[in-house]
Amino acid sequence: MGVLSYRCPDTSHEVTTGIETDAAGLAQVRKLKVAVACPYCRDGGHVVTADTMVVLERIIPAAQLAR
């Protein structure tokens, strides 16, 4: 699992959405439009299609793996 990320169309900053999925899940909803917040824009967000997003894998701290 990872978190969906997109590039702000106005500033080109990478923005994480907090939406968790994997590559297979993302592939199933490629044409889905998602309204997402953007911390870099004054208007507060964008509507982007899932096919413009990527899945960023979460890094799990070693201490959590040992549990």
Q: What is the pLDDT of residues 9-59, one digit of tens each?
A: 999 999 988 888 888 888 888 888 988 889 998 878 899 988 888 888 866
Determine contact, residues 6/31, Cβ cutoff 8 Å. no
Counting beta carbons within 10 angstroms of the beta carbon of residue 15, is it exposed (0 to 12), middle (13 to 18) or buried (19 or more)? buried
What pLDDT is attached to residue 43? 78
**pLDDT band at 67; cut points 50, 70, 90:** low
Calpha distance 37→47 (Å, rounded): 9
Residue with tokens 């969906």: 4
DSSP for residue 58: P
What pLDDT is attached to residue 2? 86
